[in-house]
Amino acid sequence: MISPTDLRRGMVLEIDGQLWQVLEYQAFKIAMRGNLVKMKLRNLKTGAIVERTVSSGERFPRVFLETRPMQYLYSEDGRHVFMDLETYDQVALSDEDLGENGRHYLKEGLEVQVQFYEGRPVAVEFPITLDFEVVETAPGIRGDTVSGAMKPAKTETGLVVQVPLFINVGDRIRVDTRTGEYIGRA
């Protein structure tokens, strides 16, 4: 059991039967109520981010996850097959297991970190940035130089990203997998 005052970024806790990863935490004191800890947590199953305030006296079970390097092989009927790079075992994960945009980040041969809890895969960590080719977007018009103007672009995997006006079909772009936002040209 771990108390909120012993929290660290990246720790995984079990709260209400769900696995939550600590993104941020802040301890503060309110008169008459004692010490409180405000936590920003990410649900490992759904990817949902919530803020929760708890008293410093509460205790949570700490969860230790096993992380294994795996390679994406193929998708079939809404299931995505990954191969363990050490044992060559194959694991099939659903869209829900991959998180909100996870299926749009999958490219053949992509290496990811899959986290296991009690022998079950519970989360997939993608590389921080990935490169994609733009397959569909409105053409950039000469003279469209408004600072900060964006337009939607669809990548080869189906991911839709807001990109600057100068990006055209066939360009390669770099995307941050944590936020799903355009970073720059690849």
Structural domain spans, the chain: 4-63, 66-125, 129-185
Q: Which residues of the chain have pLDDT under 50?
A: none
Backbone angles phi, psi at 103, to 5 degrees: -65, -25
Residue 102 CA to residue 94 CA, distance in Å, equals 10
Q: CATH for 4-63, among 1.10.10.10, 3.50.50.60, 2.30.30.30, 3.30.160.110?
A: 2.30.30.30
pLDDT of residue 166: 87
pLDDT of residue 98: 81
β-partners of residue 91 are 82
pLDDT of residue 85: 93
pLDDT of residue 143: 65
pLDDT of residue 68: 94
Three-class SS state of 38: strand
Which CATH fold topology does 129-185 show?
Answer: OB fold (Dihydrolipoamide Acetyltransferase, E2P) (2.40.50)
Report whether 183 contacts 129 (CB < 8 A).
yes
Nearest of 39, 38, 22 to residue 30 by alpha carbon: 38
> Tokens 């993104």 label which residue?
23
Do 129-185 and 66-125 have the same topology in CATH?
A: yes
pLDDT of residue 146: 64
DSSP string computed for 123-144? EEEPPSEEEEEEEEEPPPPTT-
pTM (2 decimals)? 0.75
Backbone angles phi, psi at 77, to 5 degrees: 50, 45
pLDDT of residue 137: 93
Helices (H), strands (E): how many in the chain? 1, 15
Residue 72 CA to residue 130 CA, distance in Å, equals 14
Q: Are strands 62-63 and 66-76 parallel, antiparallel or unpaired?
A: unpaired
Say yes or no: domain 66-125 is CATH 3.20.20.70.
Answer: no
